[in-house]
Structures are given as structure tokens and as C-alpha cells.
Chain A
Amino acid sequence: MPEPAAGAIELSGIGKEFPLRRGRSVQALDGFDLTVEHGEFVAILGPSGCGKSTVLRLVAGLEQATLGEVRVEGRHPGELIREHRLGVAFQEHALLPWASARANVALPFKVAGRPVDRERVDELLALVGLEGFADARPRQLSGGMRQRVAIARALALKPDVLLLDEPFGALDAVTRRRMNLELARIWLAQRITTLLVTHDVAEAVLLADRVVVMTGRPGRVRHVQRVELPRPRGTQVTREPAFHALVDRLTGLLDEAEQPGTAA
């Protein structure tokens, strides 16, 4: 269905309060605005506890905003959930331990009550480089492989929007770097509107078209950085001075964001 010129994800004037005990509450987000265009990859960077995961959970329909409006494809996230048009992967792989890699990737079909598209499942397993491990159970796979299965699962139903919350946060540095390059390749093959939440600056710069730096609590947009590096972005990109200049600049902004009181 054709959408007006609106972005794929639109957050306007978002405020989010979490109630604490005795009527007190904590303000996670305050006046947060963000528009993600169709087919765009946006990374949200921020100090821990700045509410960046909350942004993702709002878009995923897992939380409701206290103030403001969240629109995905011009509609409420709940409507997209009902139509099985969102894909998500978290820091914990959240795979079903009793099911094979193939069955885990096929899960979204079953949950949606649709016949499993075996061709699509095998194609995704090949895309994430696990064609030889289709029948392996999650505990037989390494941490990096499990995350690849989780990403393949998120892509199974060709979602309108892909949501990634620190998907490589639990991996060691070497595996993480390799997974970043993998994801850059996978994303280029699918070109799905993607929102990535991370605290790894190099990861954000390598993957995203735009990087959003958030302030500390309550979370607001501090800076939006367009990343002009050409795709495909492989290992050679990570050696370029332009890449490092961007990483340094964003790291500096992140450090400032972490100082209380300096936030704009």
C-alpha cells in the first residue's frame, strides 16, 4: 500500500516515564524526535541507561509512550505486530533451545499461522552463512552463530522494519567485529528499514546511514550524524581515516553526553 512522503518510523515529542514505588517515577525520554526513512539504517548511540532501548521498545510496541506519538509505516506499532510486519533481535538470542536452527528461523511463519516457506528459510540460513548447521540445536552453536540465527529469524517474514537491540552486545570483540561486517553484507542484500541500538561507536558508523547520539537521562537527541561512507562497507572501510575521524568525533560526543549537566 503506498504511503505518503512520511518516514518509515516517526517518533515525535516522545516522553516516557516509568513509575517507581511510592508514586515517584523516572523520566526515561523527554521530547525525543526521530524520523527514519524507508530503507534507511539508523543507529542510536548513547550512554548506558539513556533510554535508547526504550526507544526501540516503543517502536516494537513493547512499551507505550507517556507523551507524543510513535508511528511505524504511518500506523500504530500494534497494528504492524498484528500483521506480523516487524522483525526483532535482542542481545539475548532468545532462540528456542528445543528447536533446530531451521525450526527457529521458521518460527515466525508458524506463529503467524502461515505455511512455512522452506525455500525462504533455507535462503536465510545461507545468507547468514549457516547452511551447514540447519539441523543443529542452539546449544550446539557458538554465540555468534546463535545471533545469526536470531537475525535470520527476524528477517523471515520480510518485515517492513527490522529492530536490533545490541544484537552483538554479548559477543567477544573479535566475533563482534566479524558479525558487524556480516550484518553490513546481509543488510545490503535486504535493504530493510532498520533501527539499531548500540553503545559501540564503530559498529554504529560501519552499519548506519545516520547515527543518532543521545544525551543521558532523560534521553533526547543530542546530535544526528550522517555517515557518507560508500557501501558495500567491508574491512577496508574500517581502515580509512574518514571512518576513524567519524568514530572519534562521535565518541567525543558520547563522552560529553555522559557528563551530567553538559547535555544540551
Chain B
Amino acid sequence: MNSGIGAGLTNGPSARGVPLAIAGVVLLLVVVELIGRLGLAGPSWPPLSVVLEYLTTPSAQRVLGRAVTATASAAVLGFVLGTLVGVALAVLGSLLPAFGPGLDRLAAVVNAIPLIALGPLLINTAGRAATPTLVAALAAGFAVFVAATSALAAASESQRDVFTVLGAGRLATLLRLRLPAGLPLIVDGLTLAAPAAVLGAVIGEWFGAPRGIGVLLVSAMQNFQANLLWSAALSASVLALAGYLVLLGVRRAVERRFT
């Protein structure tokens, strides 16, 4: 990941692109509805309108509400945990340059292990209730670590030279230059980490958490409850999108303040 990709994902649509973006979303929704209406994908693909109608029933709202609450809290907790650990490791790599390359490799190896493969392992060690949070933290933490590592190197060479000549220590340079100069890029990473945390939480729940969207997805799939399955998937998407949009707002504020 580099800042170019981050910038593309986090700048949002330009003023001119907004109507085009809305048109694209509407088109997608219409296609989803039509496939369901015409039965092109069989009975497991209901029309979107039927799913939305299902979502208005009190029983569905009760079931989904509980699941979304569970997933959202696991995702938020995992996001916070992952962010703290990711930034802390990046700071460590910046303060002790000897550790930098080793940390990079460790993070790459951890990220190379599929989250799906880690799930059962975590269930056995950390327990069913904690697994969604931990998988969310792993997913978010990697994105934050990568972003923070490049962010802490973002200060210009002349700024670093000025700090050196002024006799600034490593800690003063970190707090007064590297962290504030890197904050926009760190928030870039957070914007990518938020949807990753939701995905991680759902995957963590997949292996048998007490409740959550992941649990709903599994049971709805096994019981051929197409409406519930689609509602759960829709909820997960909305949750991920909400996290992304909140961080986008934070990013704009940070951009204004720190550049």
C-alpha cells in the first residue's frame, strides 16, 4: 500500500463525480433487483425489495439488531486494539531503527496467514467470545502498521535536518515532527482498517461466536433462509461502509489541520 492508493481511496468522489457515483449505485441496485425478480440466479437470490420488506418485520429487526450490535462492538474494539498495536509497533520501529526491518517482515508473515486459518486457532486459545475482536484487530492492525510505518518517515529531509541541528532527541523528533507530520497518512491507514475490522469480526464469528452477523450468515445459509442471509450480508456492508465514511470525515479534518 502506498500513499497514492490511500489517497485515491480516501479523497472521495470529486464534486463532478458525485452524480456519476449515484448513478452507478442506482444501476447496481436495479440490476440486483432484476436478477431477483426474474429468478435468474435461482431461489437463493431474492429481489432486493423483498429483502428490504423482510427487514421491516419486528422479528427480523430483533435478530439483526442483536447481531449487528455484537459485530459492531467486536469490530470497534478490534479496530481500536489493532490501531494501538499497529501504531505502537511502527513507533517502536521508528525509535529503534534496528528493529524496523524485522518488524516489517514479522507483520508481512502474520498478514500472509489467512484469517480463515487463524480462526480455529484463536477459538481454541482465546475462546469463542474473544475471537471476533482478535481477528478484527489483526485485520485492522496490519493496515495501520503498514500505513504508520511509512507515515513516520513522511517528514521532509530538511525538516529532519533542522531537528537534528537543533539537537532534538529521538523522542522529541517523534512527538514534535514524525507523528504530527505522519498523522494524515496514519488516518489514511485507519480509513482502510475500519472496513477490514468489520470483515475480520464477521470472519471471527464464522467459527462459532455466541452471536453476530457471521453467526447469522452461517445459520441462514444452512437453513436456506435467503432473506435473512441477504439481510445479514447487507448489514455487514452497511457497517463497513459506515466505518469508512466516519474515518473519511476524520481524515478531512486532519488534512485541514496538519498540512
* Chain B contacts with A in 166-208, Cβ cutoff 8 A: 166-168, 172, 176-177, 180-181
Is A107's beta carbon under 8 Å from chain B? yes
Residues of A within 8 A of B181 (CB): 96
Q: Which chain B residue has the least Cβ–Cβ distance from A111?
A: B168
By a beta-carbon cutoff of 8 Å, the part of chain A in contact with chain B is 60-62, 81-84, 86-88, 90-92, 94, 96-98, 107-108, 110-113, 139, 153, 163
A239 to B195, CA, bound (A): 67
Contact A81 B165 (CB under 8 A): yes
Q: Is the CB of A97 within 8 A of B258?
A: yes
Write the nearest CB–CB distance from B250 to chain A, whole angstroms: 16
With A81-B167, A96-B180, A111-B176 given, name 15 new contacts (CB 8 A): A60-B161, A60-B164, A62-B165, A82-B167, A86-B166, A91-B158, A92-B158, A94-B162, A96-B159, A98-B258, A110-B176, A111-B163, A111-B167, A111-B168, A112-B167
**B residues engaging A (CB < 8 A)?**
156, 158-159, 161-168, 172, 176-177, 180-181, 257-259
Do A108 and B161 touch across chains, with their CB atoms under 8 A apart? Answer: no
- Cβ contact within 8 Å between A94 and B165: no
Which A-B residue pairs are the 6 nearest by beta carbons?
A94-B158, A111-B168, A92-B158, A88-B165, A84-B167, A81-B167
Q: List 5 A-B contacts (CB under 8 A).
A: A60-B164, A62-B164, A84-B166, A86-B165, A98-B257
Q: Which residues of B contact A153 (CB under 8 A)?
A: 162
Assess A60 versus B180: contact at CB under 8 Å? Given A92-B158, A94-B158: no
Nearest CB of A to B18, in Å: 27
CB neighbours (8 Å) of B172 from chain A are 110-111, 113
Task: List, in ascending order, chain B residues with CB within 8 A of A81's CB.
Answer: 164-167
Chain A residues whose C-beta falls within 8 Å of the C-beta of B156 in the assembled complex: 92, 94
CA gap between A84 and B169 in the complex, in Å: 11
Nearest residue in B to A92 (C-beta to C-beta)?
B158
Which residue from B162, B176, B180 sits with its C-beta under 8 Å from A90? B162
| Bound CA–CA A96/B175 (angstroms) | 12
The answer on a CB contact under 8 Å between A108 and B259 is: no
Which residues of the partner chain B approach A107 to less than 8 Å between Cβ atoms?
166, 176
CA separation between A62 and B163, bound complex, in Å?
11
Residues of chain B within 8 A of A82, CB atoms compared: 167
Chain B positions within 8 Å of A98 at CB level: 180, 257-259
B108: min CB distance to chain A, Å = 27
Residues of A within 8 A of B159 (CB): 94, 96
The CA-CA distance from A81 to B258 in the complex, in Å, is 28
A163 — which chain B residues lie within 8 A by C-beta?
165
Which chain B residues lie closer than 8 Å to A92 at the CB level? Answer: 156, 158
Residue of A82, A90, A163 most packed against chain B (CB within 10 A): A90
